[in-house]
Amino acid sequence: MKYTLVGNGRMGQQVQAVVESSREHEIHAVLDVDAAITPESFRGADVIIDFTVRDAFLANLPAMLASGVPVVVGTTGWDGKIDEVKAMVARNGASLMYSANFSLGVNIFLRTVREAARMIDAFDQFDIALSEQHHTAKADYPSGTALRAAQMVLDASTRKKSVLPDLPEDRKIRPDELQVASIRLGSVFGQHAAHINSEFDDIVISHTARSRQGFAGGAVEAGRWLAGQHAANPGFYTMDDFLDEVLS
């Protein structure tokens, strides 16, 4: 399978290394984030993988969708545009998979957090908060993965109604607010945790990435799956769709 990469930063380079170490896949092209990208830029590719930044991704998206090549997106920070992106995918008859984190370990963590939030919702004595740590070069906060975990908690909880990324200076946190704390530290690849507390005990569910290889490998596998879906069922997909099929 031939992959065209958009973005040659740390994640793009890691994806390239994973593809080049595989006997099944090959790198078709690597496009710089500042390149003039058109639909023709993707001719001959089977899958596009985008790890860039928010503004570059949104600027290049029309060309990627018009190319007819399935698109895997690991770029974060554009969740506020997700409905608009879904509409663009549908208009183009395209296929796009988005995940803030393609690591299989992280996605197992997310499903575990969702189940824990569902269970503690039946017991008023439990409270829950989330935290995340990343390297100081990461521009957005909370991380896309933390926001995904937060949405899962909100969906599973009848008590938590909104996300609180910064503690207010003039009041206490409300019981219906879900705190998501962010730390930017050194070269941390990524740490995410759910903290559950009651008067009698504490539960911590956590995931720590030891390298970017897990993210890159998951993106490559997701690309292969998306290419298979594209012919019969084009559309907007997430890692949940991928895992649901694998685990069914």
| Domain ranges (residues) in the chain | 2-102+212-247, 104-208
Residue 231's pLDDT is what? Answer: 86
pTM for the predicted model, two decimal places: 0.80
Average pLDDT, the chain: 95
**Cα–Cα distance, 128 to 104 (Å, whole number):** 23
Is 134 among the catalytic positions? yes
Average of per-residue pLDDT across 7-13: 91
Does residue 86 surpass a pLDDT of 90? yes
**Following DSSP, what letter does each residue of 99-153 receive, concatenated?**
-S---HHHHHHHHHHHHHHHHHTT-TT-EEEEEEEE-TT--SSS-HHHHHHHHHH
Burial 152-184 (b: 16+ CB within 10 A, else e): bbbebbebbeebbeeeeeeeeeeeebbbbbbee
Q: What is the pLDDT of residues 52-63, one digit of tens each?
A: 999 999 999 999
* Residue among 134, 160, 192, 207 flagged as catalytic: 134
According to CATH, the superfamily of the domain at 104-208 is Dihydrodipicolinate Reductase; domain 2 (3.30.360.10)
* Residue among 2, 86, 138, 195 flagged as catalytic: 138
**Cα–Cα distance, 47 to 4 (Å, whole number):** 6
Q: CA 52: distance to chain centroid?
A: 13
Is 138 among the catalytic positions? yes
Give the count of beta carbons closer than 10 Å to the beta carbon of residue 128: 22
What one-character DSSP code corresponds to residue 41?
G
Does residue 87 surpass a pLDDT of 90? yes
Residue 144's pLDDT is what? Answer: 86
Percent pLDDT > 70 in the chain is 100
3-state helix, strand, coil in the chain (%, to 5): 40, 25, 35
Q: Kindly state the tokens that stand for 177.
A: 């607010």
Residue with tokens 């023709």: 40
Task: State which fold the 2-102+212-247 domain adopts.
Answer: Rossmann fold (3.40.50)
